Structure 1
Amino acid sequence: MTIDPWLSRWLPLVLERVNDGRVLEIGCGPGDDTATLSAAGMKVHAFDISSSAVRKTKIRVPSATVECRDLREPLPEQATGFGVIVASLSLHYFAWSDTQVIVRRIRSALRPGGILLCRLNSTEDHNFGASGNPEAEPNFFLVNGEPKRFFDKCSVESLFAEGWNTLSLEHFTTRKYVKAKALWEVILERSDA
């Protein structure tokens, strides 16, 4: 893995919207974004399904609250009224219907005007499974036995069509995992609708 400072350019917006200083991070992995947010003075509540990732993040960012949690389960009871939620490359493991439910839960955890910063696998992400694997449903493959969803622009727009204002939608290639990884970076605001 290499350093991927994607979140740095969004810190001014995050600081503007964070409200009470609390940020929810979904799928923290080894804590890269947790460390960035914490260093910027935020109180981070992070979770990941991997107990190994949670252990690493707790050691790396002791000021953060970090727990092991499956995103398919309801969000923590205290996950309400957030001004900012971050979900970097963590919303792609699910069937479309489950993904829609998860996005509705995320929206419910934000206060009106709160923002979601997320990154999603792109259908152009061929180095990491967007082609050549058994397809369970459109753009949802079994990659080395693990489910992985890949998004095109239309599916990103569809996923966030109701209750969201899109502030930014950009396609990028990162070297986070050494090989080129294609992804969508999406910044959304919870609308009152």
Structure 2
Amino acid sequence: MYWDEVIKMKTNENIKYDGWLDRYLLGKVSEITTLIELGCGWGDDTSFLHTLNCNLISCDISSESMKFIHKYFPDIETRQFDLREKFPFQNETADYIVADLCLHYFDNIELNRILLEIIRVTKTNGMLYVRVNSINDTNYGVGQGKQISEGIYMTETGKKRFFDKSNILNTFKIFKIIDMEEVILMKYGEAKIAWELVLQKM
């Protein structure tokens, strides 16, 4: 698997949390009982989330990701699964869910199913914090590979999707959109353009 090979090359020196969740979560620690992190990778956000006083469950499809998290964050609960499958959680498990730069690897049908699973496992009025590729993300893949539908390209590593504002509004319409902003990320060296979303289950 592509991500297994990527994560095999990582060490704790590669963990780079860029602070994006601070303004959303630091003042709400008392409200969080269970937080599910989707697509945790090599723990950029995990390094912050594990400092919160909550039941954190970090998830990824990659077995190497799970090994990495266990090595550097041994007290964190993990689950390995494919987001395209039914999530291994009971209904209304999570107060909050974080999905950072992991939901843009799926086509419309796959992503719609994933969002319905997120709805199922999130408590009423629970929050979802998301970042996804912007259509303006020229340094990281826009236009690369074979275009298979609007904003979606098939690359050597699989599908990559890029969103404009109308795509965001349509794709995430099953949630109440609390905030949405196109942001510049510098965590990878060159500027990466992404959408940052705060969503609520109603």
The superposition leaves residues 70-128 of structure 1 with CA deviations (integer Å, 9 ceiling, x where unpaired) of 10110013463311000001111111111011111101111111000010111111111
Q: How far off is 1:143 after superposition?
A: 2.6
- Counterpart among 111, 125, 132 of residue 113 in structure 1: 125
What is the aligned-residue RMSD (CA, Å)?
A: 1.6
Residues 122, 17 of structure 1: alpha-carbon distance in 2 compared, 3 angstrom cutoff: farther
**Structure 1 unmatched ranges of 5 or more:** none
**Structure 2 unmatched ranges of 5 or more:** 1-13
- What residue number does 1:85 align with? 97
**2-structure distance, mates of 1:170, 1:103:** 19
Q: How does 1:16-95 map to 2 (within 5 A)?
A: 17-18=31-32, 21-78=33-90, 80-95=92-107
**2-structure distance, mates of 1:71, 1:83:** 19
Bigger relative contact order, structure 1 or 2 (CA pairs below 8 A, ≥6 apart): 1
- Counterpart among 166, 182, 189 of residue 177 in structure 2: 166
**1-structure distance, mates of 2:80, 2:138:** 29
Q: How far off is 1:144 after superposition?
A: 2.8
Q: How far off is 1:25 after superposition?
A: 0.7
**2-structure distance, mates of 1:78, 1:103:** 15
Decide which moves more: 109-118 or 41-50: 41-50
**2-structure distance, mates of 1:13, 1:160:** 25
**1-structure distance, mates of 2:46, 2:91:** 16
Asked if 1:181 corresponds to 2:192, the answer is: yes
DSSP 3-state at the match of 2:187: strand
AA aligned opposite 2:199: L
1:111–1:190 CA contact under 8 A, matched in 2? yes
**2-structure distance, mates of 1:62, 1:132:** 38
AA aligned opposite 1:80: E
- What residue number does 2:26 align with? 12
Identity %: 31
AA aligned opposite 2:54: M
Residues 52, 58 of structure 1: alpha-carbon distance in 2 compared, 3 angstrom cutoff: same
DSSP 3-state at the match of 1:124: coil
Residues 30, 145 of structure 1: alpha-carbon distance in 2 compared, 3 angstrom cutoff: closer
Asked if 1:128 corresponds to 2:140, the answer is: yes
AA aligned opposite 1:127: N
DSSP 3-state at the match of 2:103: coil
Q: How far off is 1:145 after superposition?
A: 4.0
**2-structure distance, mates of 1:141, 1:154:** 18
2:17–2:45 CA contact under 8 A, matched in 1? no
Q: How far off is 1:55 after superposition?
A: 1.1
AA aligned opposite 1:46: S
Residues 58, 128 of structure 1: alpha-carbon distance in 2 compared, 3 angstrom cutoff: same
DSSP 3-state at the match of 1:183: strand
Residues 16, 170 of structure 1: alpha-carbon distance in 2 compared, 3 angstrom cutoff: farther
Question: If the length of structure 1 is used for normalisation, what is the TM-score?
Answer: 0.91
